[in-house]
Structures are given as C-alpha cells and as structure tokens.
Chain A
Amino acid sequence: DTEVTQTPKHLVMGMTNKKSLKCEQHMGHRAMYWYKQKAKKPPELMFVYSYEKLSINESVPSRFSPECPNSSLLNLHLHALQPEDSALYLCASSQEGTKQSEQFFGPGTRLTVL
C-alpha cells in the first residue's frame, strides 16, 4: 500500500466552526507533513511530525492545531478560521533515509471558509 489518504475531500466551514482534517498512511513511514497550497502557488510547509513528535512548526497560527495520535494517523484541527485560510491542504509522509526522503502526498482536502 503506497497510498496516503485524506478525508474529507472537500470541506466548507464558517469562521466560528470547529472541524478536523484527517490523513492516514500504512507504509510504515515515520514522518508526516501538512502543507497548505493556494491556487497557482507552490505548496507551503506547515508542520512536520517525526516519530509522532512535532519537529517543525512553520510559525502557523494557533487556529491550526496538528495532532499525531499514532504513526499512521495525522490530524489537523481547525478553529476560528479566516476566509484567507481557504486552500488545498495536503498531507504527506516519508520514511527516514540516508538521502532526501521521497515524500508521498495525499490528494488533499479542498477547504473553503465562509
């Protein structure tokens, strides 16, 4: 299984809502990532989990809260988002290696904040 799955595919939420994005992989990878991608822009790294511990937080606002319950799951909890947070949210995973690790990306969650 070389797939990263993400749910939901689409999400529409109001600025006062609380929602969560979910990501799952069963490749035994020990690193998992969240990226945000706006239209016609490259993906921007948000968070990196390494062995279930948060290792990189790219100064992301606290209205985004990541969680890694186990080595296969990664969540992104959303609260009090702004319309400018509307974007494609991508999850990725990789295994540690002696060279730059290939990252496997999921299909993304298309988020719209009203």
Chain B
Amino acid sequence: LAKTTQPISMDSYEGQEVNITCSHNNIATNDYITWYQQFPSQGPRFIIQGYKTKVTNEVASLFIPADRKSSTLSLPRVSLSDTAVYYCLVGGAGFQKLVFGTGTRLLVSP
C-alpha cells in the first residue's frame, strides 16, 4: 500500500481557495487517489477521487500531475463549515483496505 504524506495542519480564511497537497511517491499503476473529509465525532466522508490529470465535482477539484507522485485537493472559496480533517488515500480496485495517513487539519477563520 502506498504511503501518503500531507501537511499536519493548514489555516485559511473564509472565501479563500485552499490547496492541500499529498505526496505518494510509491503509487502503483493501478492505484487511484481518493480524498475524505472528517468532522469531529463523525465518520469520514468521500470528497473526490481521481487517477490522472484533473477531476472536478461540485465541492472540490483534484489535480494530479503526469508522474502521479503527488496530488492536490483544491477547495474553492472555503467557509467556516469546511473546518475539518482531510485525508488523502491511494489504493487499487475493489474492496479496499483503506490506510489513513495522519491527515491535514484545516482551520477556516472568519
């Protein structure tokens, strides 16, 4: 399983764009990159998943360079409710043994 490295914490203000980078140097050919969000005392929630280039959905964008050794989760115009822990995970197809890294604690201030 690929090991991931993320910043431990980040601070931002409401309305700003936040970019959280994840390093996964030993990603395998079949691996996908997935991001989860977790609020205190709740289960993690799927945000976005990608394999290469760029993926966008209604809440975030995921940028993956050609070598796939890193990825960046982009949250446009964050609000206070985006204060949470964000986890980057890599893994292959099917029923997956998800190994959570330490995650990034994002604090959004007014």
**A interface with B by C-beta (< 8 Å):** 4, 30-31, 33, 42-45, 48, 50, 55-56, 88, 90-92, 94, 96-108, 110
Cross-chain contact A106 with B96 (CB below 8 angstroms): no
- Name which residue of chain B comes closest to A110, CB basis: B41
CB distance from B7 to the nearest CB of A (A): 14
- With contacts A43-B100, A56-B97, A100-B32 taken as known, whether A105 is within 8 angstroms of B92 at the C-beta atoms is no
Chain B nearest CB: distance from A64 CB in Å? Answer: 17
Closest chain B CB from A36 CB (angstroms) = 11
Contact call B44/A96, Cβ cutoff below 8 A: no
Once the chains bind, are A99 and B49 in contact (CB under 8 Å)?
A: yes
Given A42-B87, A42-B103, A97-B93, the answer on whether A103 and B98 have CB atoms closer than 8 Å is: yes
Can you identify 27 A-B contacts, CB atoms within 8 angstroms? A42-B102, A43-B98, A43-B100, A45-B97, A45-B98, A88-B41, A90-B43, A90-B44, A92-B43, A94-B96, A96-B95, A99-B32, A99-B51, A100-B31, A100-B89, A100-B93, A100-B96, A101-B93, A101-B94, A101-B95, A103-B96, A105-B42, A105-B44, A107-B42, A108-B41, A108-B42, A108-B43
- List B contacts of A33 (CB < 8 A): 98
Is B59 in contact with chain A by the CB < 8 A criterion? no
- B residues 52-110 touching A (CB-CB < 8 Å): 87, 89, 91-103
Q: Is the CB of B51 within 8 A of A48?
A: no
Q: Which residues of B contact A (CB under 8 A)?
A: 31-32, 34, 41-46, 49, 51, 87, 89, 91-103
Contacts of A30 in B (CB 8 A): 95
Nearest 5 A/B pairs, CB to CB: A105-B43, A42-B100, A100-B32, A31-B95, A102-B46
Roughly how many angstroms separate A87 CA and B54 CA in the complex, as a whole number? 37
Residue of chain A at shortest CB distance from B46:
A102
Report the Cα distance A97→B46, complex, angstroms. 15
Least CB separation from A42: chain B residue: B100
CB–CB B94/A104 < 8 A: no
CB distance from B40 to the nearest CB of A (A): 9
